[in-house]
Amino acid sequence: MGTRSNPQLPILAISIFLFISCAGAQTGFRIKTLSRVTGAPHVMNDSDQTSTAYVLGNNTRVEMSHDSPFGTEPSEEMVIIQHCADHVMYALNFKTHEYSEMPLSAQPPKEKNTGVNQPQGPPNLLIETTVRDTGETKPAFGHTARHFVITTKQTPSPELGMEPGETIEDAWYLDVPDPRMCTPRPHRGGGFGGGSVGIGRAGPADFEKIRPEFKYSGPDPEGLMISSRQSNKAIEISRSGERRETQYTLSNEIVEMSEESVDPSLFEIPSGFKKVSQPGRQN
């Protein structure tokens, strides 16, 4: 009698081959963003920063490379790794081969966070944010994006020695969640980000005297922000008392976004990296 072959063996061999081939990479996302500063005040040069994010399940990795805004140092590469399920974040410095570990909040940040050590007393810095949904839409990355204009005005009391500032942000939001975020983040004003204030001759001691009050009107944009152009206006006072109006622009744009195979090892700390309190500094 001839030898009978087992018809299940080829299927098993193919299954093993596919498992080995796919074990090193799984389907995730890659998102590339270009950030640009133009017309920056003081001695800073215009500068660009490119970041590439990799997302796989509950883990994210963001690789950032940028040139010094002063044009005196070579470009640096920083990497941020988030393990959302473990509520932990790692910051890696590939120049010094060091990394630090920080906890991630399991809850979305509060809409208003004026600081733990905020001085007592009536508000002396009013931060007003107005959001307008223009009603415009456009297709982007296979989805629909909506157009918002966000205006933030900051009005300080005379006691602070600061000048008013205004920021106008032109932004487009995609109708899908941002896969790079562990928890949804509200865009309502609750901090000093998103605005510009000319602090004049105010130093750190004066800055600690700030008691902010936040006002917000309009819808809260939701989804993945695919582009943003932020125009900042402020008046600065030099040490000689000269008043000067400054204006500069910050822009961010997702230039690439794709679903592709992502290697799980990207979300691990490389061997040989030393744990420190802050990368690039001595403990």
Within-domain flag for 2:
no
113 and 89 in one domain?
A: no
- Are 121 and 248 contained in the same domain? yes
Tokens found for residue 127: 């931060």
Q: Are residues 80 and 93 in the same domain?
A: yes
Residues 102 and 112 in one domain: no
Say whether both 16 and 116 belong to one domain. no
| pLDDT value at residue 147 | 98
Do 113 and 153 fall within a single domain?
Answer: yes
> Does 249 share its domain with 123?
yes
**Number of folded domains in the chain?**
2
Over residues 76-89, the mean pLDDT reads: 90
pLDDT category, 38, cuts 50, 70, 90? confident
User: Tokens for 251?
Assistant: 């822009």
CB-CB contact of 144 with 169 (8 Å): no
Higher pLDDT, 16 or 176: 176
Domain boundaries, position 119: 108-257
- Segments of the chain assigned E as strands: 26-38, 47-56, 59-66, 76-83, 88-93, 98-103, 125-140, 143-156, 165-174, 212-217, 224-237, 243-262, 274-275
Say whether both 219 and 120 belong to one domain: yes
Question: Of the segments 18-32, 53-67, 163-177, which one has the largest average pLDDT value?
Answer: 163-177
Q: Is the pLDDT of residue 263 over 80?
A: yes
Based on the fold, state whether residues 17 and 93 are members of the same structural domain: yes
Q: Which residues make Cβ contacts (< 8 Å) with residue 106, sequence separation at least 6?
A: 87, 183
232 & 123 share domain: yes
Each residue's pLDDT tens digit, 131-150: 999 999 999 999 999 999 99
CA–CA gap between residue 65 and residue 79 (Å, rounded): 9
Residue with more model confidence, 14 or 134: 134
Residue 196 lies in a domain: yes
| 115 pLDDT above the threshold of 90 | no
Shared domain for 211 and 273, answered yes or no, is: no
* Verdict on whether the full-model pTM lies above 0.85: no
Sign of CA dihedral 154, 155, 156, 162: positive
Q: Alpha-carbon distance 248 to 138, whole Å? A: 27
CB atoms closer than 10 angstroms to residue 243? 11
